[in-house]
Structures are given as structure tokens and as C-alpha cells.
Amino acid sequence: MSTLTALIIVLAILMTIVGGETGIRSFFSVLINTMLLILVAILISWGISIPILILIFIPLKLVTIIFLGTHDYTVAKNSFYAAFLVCLIVSVLILGCQWLAQAAGMGPEAGEVLVGLSQMPGLSYPMIAVAVAIFSSLGAIAEAAVAMSSGLLEIKKHNPNISRMNLIASGNRIGSDVLGTAMNTILFGMFGSFLSLFLWYFRLNYSMGEVLNEKLFVNEALIIMYSLIGVLLTVPLSTIFLSRGMNKNGVKDGSK
């Protein structure tokens, strides 16, 4: 048995024991999510328009993460709307920043790795870089949206007559925790993903100025910031969506 298979089996068992039914659902959400990402790679390699793929796969991936990961329908629906809107805003930001930074494509070692591979694939690597940035930050946005919505709904449950102003104030307080929860995950995830690159810079005596202008470093640092901005935008947007949805529900309850 390969190590990866063995580890996946261990993970499945642990998630079932610790998580119960939610755990099993989360396991499948992760699995489907990974497969969707590989599917994106396949479709892009076939030459299908990348912006269209991005627009189709953002909601697909959000649905997998949010609806399979949470069991409260109101939380899931609210998080989905907020996360989708944030993803669209962040996509625009990413398009702008990537256009300014021109940090697409393979890094300085490319020549060595790419021996035997096509260097002129006829695909737009600037667009691929945008796709990578969007999908990297999408997970953090979805997580933040779920945490925000479930936290706010909890407050609403204990305090049904809470005013909109108070709800927004509570939202900001929860937002600070949510950001704290996301920040280290994103930062160390990126450290863990790019450690070898940093070692490479250091061993090849790159100067500070060179590193700060180097394609892959800029790309990575930008992805960390897109994710943080995404998480930050989720805080007010989740609150707004929830308080709107609440008002509608309030009317419904009143008419009953």
C-alpha cells in the first residue's frame, strides 16, 4: 500500500471516530474539493476559457465546503451568499494586483524542472495565476463565512430581539476571533508550502531587494494578503446578509 493511501485511510477512520456523521461528511467535502481542483487543472489543460471555469468553480467549491461541512441550513445558506460575494470582490482585487505585479508563470528554477516539457503551452499563465490565487484564498473565505454566520446566529438565538446595530457590533467582535483563527492557518500553510523556495533564495544569496521583486515570492505574499482581505471582508458582509435574512424571517414569523 502506498503511504498516501495508508494516510488517507487513517484520516478517514479518525474523522469517523472524532467527528461522527459530521466527520464523515467533512471527509467527503475535502475529497470532493480536491477532486474539483484536479478537474479544474484538467479542464484548463484542455484549453477551456479560464475566466469561465473560475466563475463556474467558485460556487461549486463553496457549495462543497459550506453545505457539506455545516449541518445548519440557515448558517450554510447565509455563509454561501456572503462567501460568494466576497470571492467575487476578491477576484476583482486579484485581477488588478496580478496585472500590476506581473508575477505569473514558473519561477527561477523553471528551466531545470521543465526539461522535456513544453515551454510554450499556448495557455495564458497570467490567467492561471489568477485562478490559483482565487482558489487558494477561497478556503479561508468559506471558513470565515461559516464561522461568522454560526456565531451570529447563536447570538440571535439567545437574544432574539437584538437590534441591527447591536448585531453589527457583535459581528465585529466575532470577526476579530474569526480573523485570529484564519490568520495563522493561512500564514503557516503558506510557510509550509514554500519553505524550499525560501531556502533556495537564501542559499543562492538573494538580496532582500531581489527576493521582494522575485516572481514566486511576490505571488506567495500576495496570496497571503488576498486571503486575509477575503476573511476581513467576510466579517461585515456576513453580518449584513444575516441581519437582512433575519428581518425577512421576522416578518414571516409575525404573519404566522
Partner 1 sequence: MKAKNKKRYIIALIVAVIGLVLTACTYFATNIYSRDDVAVITDNVIKDRLIEKDKDVYNNVDQTREQTLHLKVLSGKYKGRTFTTKNVYYPSQMVSQKYRARQRIFVNIKKGDPAIVNPKRDWVLVLALTVTIALMIAIVGRHSFALIISMALSWLIFYLVIVLDVHMNGAHIILLFSLADIIFSFFGLLIDQGFNKKMLATWLATLLGVFISFGLCYLVMQLTGESEMKYETGDYATQDPRGIFLAQTLLGILGAVMDESTDIISSLYELVQTRKDITVNQLIKSGRTMGQEIMGPLINVLVLIFISGALPMTIIYLRDNNSLGSAFGFTLSLGATQSVISAIGIVLTVIFATGCSLLFLKNKKWKWGKKE
Q: Within positions 134 to 153, which residues make up the interface with partner 1, using CB under 8 A?
A: 135-136, 138-140, 142-143, 146-147, 150
Choices 52-60, 109-117, 155-163, 241-249; region in contact with partner 1 by CB under 8 A: 109-117
| Segment near partner 1 (CB under 8 A); pick from 52-60, 99-107, 155-163, 241-249 | 99-107
Query: In the range 173-232, which residues lie near partner 1 by CB under 8 A?
Result: 175-177, 179-200, 202-204, 207, 209-210, 212-215, 218, 221-222, 225-226, 228-229, 232
From CA 243, how far away is CA 245, in angstroms rounded? 6
Nearer to partner 1, 57 or 246 (CB): 57
Q: What angle do CA 182, 188, 193 make, to 5 degrees?
A: 120
53 is an interface residue for partner 1 by CB under 8 A? no
Residues 223-252 that bind partner 1 (CB under 8 A): 225-226, 228-229, 232-233, 235-236
Q: Give CA 199 to chain center in angstroms.
A: 26
Q: Give yes or no for residue 111 binding partner 1 (CB under 8 A).
A: yes
The Cα–Cα gap between 202 and 216 comes to: 14
Q: Of 27-46, which residues contact partner 1 (CB under 8 A)?
A: 29-30, 33-34, 37-38, 40-42, 44-45
Please give the angle made by the CA atoms of 149, 155 and 157, to the nearest 5 degrees.
Answer: 100
Binding test (CB under 8 A) with partner 1, winner from 163, 169, 247, 251: 169
Stretch that binds partner 1, among 1-9, 51-59, 84-92, 242-250 (CB under 8 A): 1-9
Taking the least distance from each CB to partner 1, the nearer of 79 and 246 is: 79
Count of residues binding partner 1 (CB under 8 A)? 120
Q: Go through 91-128 and write b for each residue having 16 or more CB atoms within 10 A of its CB, e for each that does not.
A: bebbbebbeebebbeeeeeeeeeeeeeeeeeeeeebbb
Binding flag, residue 102, partner 1 (CB under 8 A): yes
Distance CA 141, CA 146 (A): 9
- Binding piece for partner 1, criterion CB under 8 A, among 51-59, 84-92, 121-129, 243-251: 121-129
Q: Does 84 bind partner 1 (CB under 8 A)?
A: no
Cα 227 from Cα 93, distance rounded (Å): 11
* Torsion, CA 120, CA 123, CA 129, CA 134, rounded to 10: -160
- State how far the Cα of 63 lies from the Cα of 196, in Å rounded to an integer: 33
| CA-closest candidate to residue 136, choices 89, 74, 94 | 94
- Judged by beta carbon, residue 37 or residue 251, the one nearer partner 1 is 37
Least distance from partner 1 to the Cβ atom of residue 155, Å: 13
